[in-house]
Amino acid sequence: MPAYRPEEIEKKWQAHWKAHSTFRAQNHSDKPKYYVLDMFPYPSGAGLHVGHPLGYIASDIVTRYKRLQGFNVLHPMGFDSFGLPAEQYAIQTGQHPALTTEKNIDTYIKQLSSLGFSYDWEREIRTSDASYYKWTQWIFLKLFNSWYNLDTDRAEPLTALTARFAERGSEGINAAGDADERQVFTAGQWQLFNEHQKLAAVHPYRLAYQQDTYVNWCAGLGTVLSNDEVKDGVSERGGYPVERRLMPQWNLRITAYADRLLQGLDTIDWPDAVKEMQRNWIGRSIGAEVTFPVKDHENAQIKVYTTRVDTIYGATFLVLAPEHELVDTLTTPEQRAAVDEYIAATKRRSERDRMADTKTVSGVFTGAYGLNPVNNEPVQIWLADYVLAGYGTGAVMAVPSGDQRDYVFAQHFGLPIPAISDAQQGLEKQADPTKEGRYINSGIINGLTYKEATTKLIAFLEEKGLGRGKVNFRLRDSIFGRQRYWGEPIPIYYKDGTAYGIAESDLPLVLPEIDEYKPTETGEPPLGRAQNWLYRDQYPYELSTMPGWAGSSWYYLRYMDPTNEARFVSEEAEQYWGTVDLYMGGAEHATGHLLYARFWYLFLKDLGLVSGNEPFQKLINQGMILGRSNFVYRLNLTYSQPDEIGKSQKANGPLVFVSKGIYEQLSSNENPYEVLKDKKGVVRTRLREIVGKLAKPVGNSGSTASALFGSPLLTPIHADVNIVENDVLDIDAFKKWRDEYEGAEFILEDNGTYVCGVEIEKMSKSKYNVVSPDVLIGKYGADALRLYEMFLGPLEQYKPWNTNGISGVGTFLKKFWRLFHPEDGPLAVTDEPANPVELKALHRAIQKVKEDIEKFSFNTSVSMFMITVNELTALNCHKRAVLEPLVLLLSPYAPHLAEELWQELGHEAGSISSAGYPEFREEYLVEDTVTYPIAINGKVREQLQFAAAATASEIETAVLGSDFLTRFGEGKAAKKVIVVPGRMVNVVV
């Protein structure tokens, strides 16, 4: 039998698994089910680097472990294949996004398959396939045709709402959303409404609705961007300017589910950090909505929401978002120019930038005054970009004595800061938000405590019709439309300017072919380029497409029943698989995908279409694998070249790189130039050789070239880590890597090598520290890569990558192979019974690995495998009774090697997944004897062995019957003997 050759074994078993559909999950089984899900990958053109498979390897280990335990496991894979990157590439190259997406997916599938993941590929889905997004559009139509009934606390079909309108009009309807946007009408008026009027009255109740909304508009990309896609006022992709713009947008009323989304977090096994991020994002608060009339504007009112209504007497000014609807009305002629300039500047900043910038103080006075509703005192109305139109009411009452941001603003603009509590301290330096003490300078609540004041003020405001107690959320409705091409078309058409959902029987609404993938010349989205794209040949379609998160909000359900043409998932399949048991993915999706997926699931639950309460029961966030960057050190050099008469002229110097040891020598020297000027020094001598070789004397002057040094003296430059091994640079490969390095010169270490510098950074193409799994699989095998990624450290932690370490794992796998094939010879497994020492090694491994997988502590399992193989190698153990269970134990981690050895042991090819997990037997770990430290008066003098089953009295008798006291007792008799079973013996004299 030849030596262990992973390149042959792994291709063999990957082909076998594919041909035999080894990992196909059954929708009907007597086995218990277990659903393992990986987060939907977006297939980028760059493919996978070694950081990407970390979570996939971990989930695959759990998947294979659960199969061995007798579970029917669903472990699917698919692709989140709509998105902006593919569209931008299409704009640049003219290729249809579907073509580049298909190519990228093929690359991903090849790479994922080469790692031996046990996916049920027959269930693969792609969000850009019309057969999939038909159902994404179907769910949108369900949202469009539903409202949220606060009385029943769930979504209901709009038919139930319109039936109530027909019976008693709009009176008594308790629905999620802004009541101020809705019409008031009687049942009789409803009956007289025409179709257009009825739809207009219903629209503000819909869970999917259209509304003028402030968005991040990027003219350079021709689309709306999410806050995540904007950084420092420009688009993350392309760096184009982004401005806040009011545009008609489709929204989903996620705010209706805010309370339920909060409550559900208490029922799921997720990382505390992720749950806390969602709680903060939802931001539930109990407070009051207060109305401030506007002086000299009879019909103008400013509504604010506050959690500290008790501080209202200290509200010395109001702050509006620059986008607030009343700004134009309130701004006085004297302030118009300043206000317009401020608004223009604000448009260039994203919401995220405005929220994050807590240091800059900016604002502008409108010239108008509000009236404090509790004392009718005038308060100035200002604009400031730290107030956002989409949060709350877009206005805040500023209480500078109780809020630090208001305090800084008031100080900056010279506004009053009155104390409102006798417990406030240090107001000359900062705000004091205390709720202690009693109120002062506060009218009707003077002398009251916080609780008393809050109750009295809310009652007063409600009585006067100027406010009410209210629960509020930071969470806002989700903007759903994108002005892009490569996304799901929104299944809406327009008749006489009114939005209608297309008939479900007409789904899917397929993306039309267009000539270019950028907005039209008139500013319409790319779909505006489609020719004769009309619903039933007469009504124009909505030109926006859905955001990237639409398809990923329900994909886990489609995996249950991916080819069903009649339903998004059959009732039987959904009820069998239920919810995801284990979800592996990144924490960066906490307030995006994970929140939206929960929202969609709760909505489908309300319609009776799913049977669980939460989509993902357990979530694990794998940490990031950081890149290990290598650096070369460029010497910034020119040289002095003499002309024909000997006059010195400067010329561009040769490209010279110094090795790490020389870099450190120069960097640590107070005057590195002196080192380089030392004519006897190695570096100086080498430089003279380099310069002399490239710069020849001119004429008869006899002068030669000499080196000149630039500033900075040395510059670290990233080198491709794939041409570096153990930090030693392959100089020939480096010269071929980039054209400008072809003639480079190198100053080496004393041993003749070029040693690179090292730094741990994020793995990125720009840092040339990306390592392709394909290269490592080709060199060491997929099983070695799987084990090594797990061995790097705890799954949830960030870990630096070091390619050098994988060779050790490769050596371990060879040693494992040689337990079966000593000296790489033929199979030498015997049927001899195992001895206690061998069984102890085996069962200690079974116990440890099982516990580790259950705790998702995979790195310590790999350590245990190595320890066990070393022990069995030392014991020269080749016994089936030990090695066969060990193969099963290793199979989730190194499945290709395990399949090969399992077949060699006489089992059916490819059957290891259906074998049982090795049974742990504790009796093999029980020691026959125990070594006891024996002490006199607490000081250990020697150690004695006793049978493990020996009783305390037997041990005491044996100690006293020995010569222990004679040798160590100094002639004293024993007063007492204390025996701690299994631990120690102490003789008191």
Output the known binding site for ATP. Answer: 765
* Sheet strands (E) in 112-218: 146-149, 154-157, 208-218
Strands 223-225, 208-218: pairing is antiparallel
Sign, CA dihedral 206-211-215-221, equals: positive
How far is residue 924's CA from residue 195's CA, in Å, rounded to a whole number? 80
How far is residue 497's CA from residue 502's CA, in Å, rounded to a whole number? 15
Residue type, 834: A
Q: Decide if 842 contacts 924 (C-beta within 8 A).
A: yes
Asked if residue 41 has a cis previous peptide bond (ω within 30° of 0), the answer is no
Q: Which residues are annotated as a binding site?
A: 765
How far is residue 25's CA from residue 97's CA, in Å, rounded to a whole number? 32
Strand partners, 986: 935, 978
DSSP label at residue 738? S
Asked if residue 654 has a cis previous peptide bond (ω within 30° of 0), the answer is no
How far is residue 673's CA from residue 713's CA, in Å, rounded to a whole number? 8
Strand partners, 761: 627
Sign, CA dihedral 248-252-253-258, equals: negative
How far is residue 989's CA from residue 969's CA, in Å, rounded to a whole number? 7
How far is residue 388's CA from residue 351's CA, in Å, rounded to a whole number? 7
Query: Tokens representing 853?
Result: 């997988």
- HEC profile for 428-459? CCCCCCCCCCCECCCHHHCCCCHHHHHHHHHH
Kind and range of the H or E element at 584? strand 582-585
Residue type, 16: H
How far is residue 399's CA from residue 509's CA, in Å, rounded to a whole number? 52
Phi, psi of 152 (to 5 degrees): -95, -10
The helix/strand/coil state of 320 is strand
How far is residue 746's CA from residue 740's CA, in Å, rounded to a whole number? 14
Residue whose pair of structure tokens reads 């949202």 in the numeric block: 143
How far is residue 734's CA from residue 714's CA, in Å, rounded to a whole number? 18
- Compute how many other C-beta atoms are within 10 angstroms of the C-beta atom of residue 192: 10
Q: Decide if 865 contacts 911 (C-beta within 8 A).
A: no
How far is residue 459's CA from residue 456's CA, in Å, rounded to a whole number? 5
How far is residue 597's CA from residue 612's CA, in Å, rounded to a whole number? 13
Nearest CA among 763, 436, 742, 814 for reference residue 624: 763
Query: Tokens representing 517?
Result: 């993938």
What distance separates the 2 farthest-apart alpha carbons in the chain?
115
Provide the terminal-to-terminal Cα distance of the chain, rounded to the nearest Å.
67
The helix/strand/coil state of 394 is coil
Angle 80-84-90 from CA coordinates, rounded to 5° = 110
